[in-house]
Each structure stands twice: as C-alpha cells, then as structure tokens.
Amino acid sequence: MTIDLKSPFGALLLALTIIAFCYLLLPILVIVVAPLGSTGYLSFPPQSLTLKWYQAALNDTRYVGSFLTSLKVATITAIVSTVIGILAAHGLTRYEFRGRKFIEALFLSPLILPTLVLAVGLSIFFSRTGLLTGTARLAASHVIVCTPYVIRVSLPVFQRFDRTLEEAAQNLGATPLQSFLMVLLPVVRPAIIAGAVMAFITSFDEVVLALFLAEPSAPTLPVTIYSAVQLGFDPSVAAVSGLLVLLTMALMVIYHIFGAVRD
C-alpha cells in the first residue's frame, strides 16, 4: 500500500510522522548537546562549546568502573536469560502436559510484580541464605527479571515453527539434538537475538534491584548516576548519558553496515 504524499491525507500523515520523530528525538539531542557548554550548569543551546564535561566523565573512575560493572552484569544476564528463556519457550510450545499454562504464567509472573517488591524480597532471601554474593547475586536477580522478556518474545516464534522440518531432519539421520541445533535454532534466530538484546538492555538500565543488591564497592552505572544526581546535578552526569547515547548510535550504525554487507 502506497500513500500519495501530495494528497492532503499524505501531507498530514507526513507532518504527524515528523512531529512524532521530533518529539522522540529532540530530548535525546538535548542530552547529547547540552554538556558541550562551558557553564557549570546545563543550558540549551550550549554556550562556548567545549568538551571538558565529556572529558571529565571519561576520566572519572566512578563512571568508568560502574560502566564496566554494568556491562559485566548485563552480559552475564543476557546469556543466562537467553538460554533459560529459549529452552523454556521450546518446552512450552513443543509439549502438551498438565499445568503448562500455570508454568508459563509462573515464568512470566515477574513482569507483573513490582520491581521494588521483588528487590526487597530478594534482598531478604539472599541475606538469610547467603547463597550468592557480589556480582553473582545481582546477575541472578536480573536473570529473574529478564528471562520473562526472552520467553515473551520467543513464544510466538516457536509457536509458528513448522515441526515437520525437525521430523524431516531426523528422518534423514539427524539426532534430536542435531535437529534442534541445526534446524530449529537457525529458524528462530531472530527471536533469540531480540530476546538477548532486550535482556541486555533491561539489565543494563535496571536501577532498583541494583540499589538493593549491588555491592557498595561495585555499583552499576545507573546507581552511580542516581547517586550523583542526588548529591548535586553536574554537567558531567549528562555527559555520561550523552556518551551512552552516542555508543548506542555507533553500535546501531555498525550493525546496519554489517547487515548491508552481508546482504
């Protein structure tokens, strides 16, 4: 279906689209540009362009260390959540058994549970049992929150998968494990990638669980930013956010470049 942009409806649709994009992108542009000012406070448009606030953010060991901690926790969370979520989605769609709907609801229950309640409960649980400490404790709590997202993304793809493809592979001599790895996983790869990315972003951006469960000596980046804002807003805090935006944009550009080359 094509829309004539010269018609009144097409022109109106184009105008609404531009307004929507500006509404979404202008706040991000402000975050990136505002720290370029030389003043000790944020102003837009910036005055007397300088990179000193971005340099201060890059040279601040608090932000660099917390970024590495968040990156480590998010990577572990994304890997574990993707493995658990993909296997759970496969089992829930492949087999019919009593209580399947209940197990599915149990897996997805963290989505409707307030994060603050979950953080308090996990904090009490880990403090009384002493099962995990440090980064492992925070990563485990993030897995609980992120796995439902992977399952939610993967379930529709697994439900649409044609099982005769696996049966054909097994008839040709493949084992169930080989058909799973060589037939099913390549077909559902978009769901795996989407689930892993969603788990990574959710873990990296999570602040409530990190406030309760992260080690005071190794806070995550959202906790460090939150603490800095509480003590007094500094342009370097906005510079950290701007750096994250620029890093995300760079990764998106690289992804599209590699996708275009592969195609």
Give dist(CA 38, CA 92) in Å, integer: 56
Whether 195 and 85 have beta carbons less than 8 Å apart is answered as yes
Give dist(CA 150, CA 170) in Å, integer: 27
* pTM of the predicted structure, to 2 decimals: 0.81
% of the chain residues with pLDDT over 90:
6
For the stretch 152-171, pLDDT in tens is 888 888 888 777 887 787 78
Task: Residue 126: give its domain's CATH number.
Answer: 1.10.3720.10
Q: What pLDDT band is residue 5 in, cutting at 50, 70 and 90?
A: low
Predicted confidence (pLDDT) at residue 134 exceeds the cutoff of 80: no
Does residue 187 lie within any of the structural domains? yes
* pLDDT recorded at residue 82: 92
Predicted confidence (pLDDT) at residue 244 exceeds the cutoff of 70: yes
Does residue 252 lie within any of the structural domains? no
Instruction: Report the range of poorest mean pLDDT among 33-47, 60-74, 86-100, 145-159.
Output: 33-47
Instruction: Report the range of poorest mean pLDDT among 65-74, 138-147, 157-166, 254-263.
Output: 254-263
Query: If you average pLDDT over residues 28-37, what whole number do you get?
Result: 78
User: Which among 84, 88, 117 has a CA at the least distance from the CA of 105?
Assistant: 88
DSSP secondary structure letter of residue 183? I
CA-to-CA dists, residue 237 to 34, 188, 228, angstroms: 11, 39, 7
Structural domain tally of the chain? 1
* pLDDT recorded at residue 6: 67
Q: What pLDDT band is residue 77 in, cutting at 50, 70 and 90?
A: very high
Does residue 260 lie within any of the structural domains? no
Q: Show the domain range for 228.
A: 51-232
Q: What's the length of the chain?
A: 263
Predicted confidence (pLDDT) at residue 80 exceeds the cutoff of 90: yes
- Maximum alpha-carbon separation in the chain: 71
Does residue 239 lie within any of the structural domains? no
* pLDDT recorded at residue 66: 87
Does residue 12 lie within any of the structural domains? no
User: Which among 62, 108, 30 has a CA at the least distance from the CA of 218?
Assistant: 62
Query: If you average pLDDT over residues 237-252, what whole number do you get?
Result: 81
Predicted confidence (pLDDT) at residue 37 exceeds the cutoff of 80: no
The pair of structure tokens assigned to 83 is 């493995």
